[in-house]
Amino acid sequence: SYNNITPFGTLGYKIVGEPDSINYNNSFFASLGVNYRLSDTYSAGLLFDYRQAILNSVEDPQEGIAYLNWKSGHLLSVMSYGVVGFSDGSPDMGLGLQIKYSR
């Protein structure tokens, strides 16, 4: 992390299995992003997410995500986010809210 900025990334490979009726493909996935700590309770970030499609008939999902996260101590966090799709395998756009409570 540098001056409240933390880059992050993910790289993986998913083995999805082979049911009798559908031919799924195993797939690579990756994400690359940056988180900016605004204060002790707020952070914001951007990330790009890529996944290989598990079906040959679907385009690989590629999405951009922006988020704002609020943490209340160690127990509760609330994250709002927006998604923009860059391929036909992704939603055109979306909004979401994630609430996390941990003890």
Write the DSSP symbol of residue 2. B
Distances, alpha carbon 61 to alpha carbons 34, 42, 92, in Å: 20, 29, 11
Q: How many CB atoms lie within 10 A of CB 28?
A: 12
- For residue range 4-52, list pLDDT tens digits in order: 999 999 999 999 888 888 889 999 999 999 999 999 999 999 999 999 9
pLDDT one-digit tens code per residue, 59-81:
999 999 999 999 988 899 999 99
